[in-house]
Amino acid sequence: MNPLYSLFNPEGIAVVGASREPTKIGHLVLKNLLEYGYKGRVYPVNPSATEILGLQCYPAVSTISGRVDVVVVSVPNVKTLEIIDDAGKAGAKHAVVITSGFKEVGNVELENELVRRARRYGMRVLGPNIFGYVYTPARINATFGPRDVIPGNVAFITQSGALGIALMGSTILEGIGISSIVSIGNKADIDDADLLEFFDEDPNTSVILIYMEGVNDGRRFVDVASRVSLRKPIIVIKSGRTEAGARAAASHTGSLAGNVALYETAFRQSGVLSVKSVEEAFDFVKTLSWNPVPEGERVVVITNGGGAGVQASDTLADDGVFLEKPPEDLATEVKKFVPSFASLANPIDLTGMAPEDWYYRSIRLALANPAVDAVLILYCHTALTSPMGVARAVAKALEEVGQRKPISVAIIGGAEAYEAIRYLTNLKIPAYPTPERAAHALAAQIRYRRYREYLVKRATAA
């Protein structure tokens, strides 16, 4: 059993510092926990209240008679040690320390003592200086972030608090389904590698996204990430890549952002997909969590606009993915319904006069063709077709053939294009507003495939 199992599947959660004051963190966390539908027992702890949000309130964790696996701590930093002692004696296994005012402001000793105390009772510490955590399979939202996280298969580990909370909201807007969000903060005890090991075994997680400023134990991270990458893609936003960024990171969490080249090498060797921006990360998450891994690198691009096709070709080439001629039989079949001047090279240009049906037919053919490994669909909103019509054509073809190959869709245009993207997103079909983003996201799948092949070879050779 993974040592963090009971953090994510606790029988009971105590919220120490629970509050009746609606703007207090201790109130917000308790409220999210109750409203998001956690099925275990929830215990507010606050010596100066008898009831909060309809629940009986306890003066201390040790006064709770039921089993408490997790203690969420939101009290002033000077009071955290006594809470740890009390919770530890009461048999709690995990302290989720939201409280800030530790290493990030120079209180190194207090932080070290926090961990020492917890260890004395066999407790693990998440944080301190965090916004809590989410685990949707157990309906846990023990954060003061947005409530309605969408359940799904993506685990998100974040070293940054405010950015992390904001990105929780972004996952909802972007339709990204979450298995877990873990605010990891100062990483005084539980670190990225510990969480990777848990998510590796977690059947509810298939993609892991990390916002990282630095790691404490680089060697262990590489070891664990190399193992996890064999089964599940890991995407890392490595913040503080530049000297200026590293300086900013140091004044933020006090973490050493470290040598950029070292990190890049470590990521590549451990099969980690390193990205530069939040947008890239989210774009990759969509293709990687909604698509199967491609069986090869033969991408076919289908477009109604030459320009979109050129932009996608450029992006794919930048990403080391090179388009080859589409399979002969695919070209022959498509030729039957497109105009004579349509290009049947790759990109296949259905021309600006292409109706929805040509999209449906060509996508269906490409998905069914054994010599095609992935399909990139580009649609420019023209006067002749509606974005929603094309989105439906994509969905229909995919449903009929079955999602055995990765696809990525660009719907370029105005408000109607935006709606069509949302429609596809709801169906878990990765869709983007520009050809470059759709191409880059699909290329991430091929990059992951290459990394994984390399890791498999290395493991076999060893």
Binders in 175-214 for a copy of itself, by CB under 8 A: 211, 213
Maximum pairwise Cα distance, the chain: 81
- Among 333, 434, 452, 454, indicate the residue that binds a copy of itself (CB under 8 A): 434
Of 257 and 394, the one with the shorter C-beta distance to a copy of itself is: 257
Which range binds a copy of itself by CB under 8 A, 74-82, 140-148, 184-192, 393-401? Answer: 140-148
Q: Does 159 bind a copy of itself (CB under 8 A)?
A: yes
Q: 328-335 vs 356-368: helix axis angle to the nearest 10?
A: 160
Q: Does 248 bind a copy of itself (CB under 8 A)?
A: yes
Q: Does 315 bind a copy of itself (CB under 8 A)?
A: yes
Which residues, numbered 380-399, are part of the site for a copy of itself (CB under 8 A)? 380-384
Q: Does 78 bind a copy of itself (CB under 8 A)?
A: no
Please report which residue ranges of 215-255 form alpha helices under DSSP H: 218-229, 243-252
Of 230 and 248, the one with the shorter C-beta distance to a copy of itself is: 248
Q: Which residues pair with 210 in a beta bridge?
A: 157, 236
Length of the chain: 462
Which residues, numbered 50-69, are part of the site for a copy of itself (CB under 8 A)? none
Closest separation in Å from C-beta 384 to a copy of itself: 7
Of 229 and 346, the one with the shorter C-beta distance to a copy of itself is: 346
**Cis peptide bond N-terminal to 137, omega within 30:** no
The strand ranges marked E within 267-314 are 273-275, 299-303
Which helix or strand (DSSP H or E) is residue 70 part of?
A: strand 70-73
Q: Does 261 bind a copy of itself (CB under 8 A)?
A: no
| Cα dihedral: 151, 145, 237, 206 (round 10) | -20
Instruction: Confirm if 387 and 381 have CB atoms less than 8 A apart.
Output: yes
- Among 144, 198, 199, 284, indicate the residue that binds a copy of itself (CB under 8 A): 144
Which residues, numbered 317-356, are part of the site for a copy of itself (CB under 8 A)? 317-318, 322-323, 341, 343, 345, 347, 349, 352
**DSSP output for 253-280:** T------HHHHHHHHHHTT-EEESSHHH
Spell out the SS3 assignment of 191-214: CHHHHHHHHHHCCCCCEEEEEECC
CA 364 to chain centre: 30
Of 321 and 367, the one with the shorter C-beta distance to a copy of itself is: 321
Which range binds a copy of itself by CB under 8 A, 65-73, 115-123, 243-251, 442-450? Answer: 243-251
How many positions of this chain bind a copy of itself (CB under 8 A)? 85
Of 153, 125, 171, nearest in space to 290 by CA = 153
Q: Does 28 bind a copy of itself (CB under 8 A)?
A: yes
Of 158 and 229, the one with the shorter C-beta distance to a copy of itself is: 158
Which residues, numbered 402-431, are part of the site for a copy of itself (CB under 8 A)? 412-418
Of 122 and 169, the one with the shorter C-beta distance to a copy of itself is: 169
Other C-beta atoms lying within 10 Å of the C-beta of residue 56: 11
Of 279 and 333, the one with the shorter C-beta distance to a copy of itself is: 279
Q: Does 306 bind a copy of itself (CB under 8 A)?
A: yes
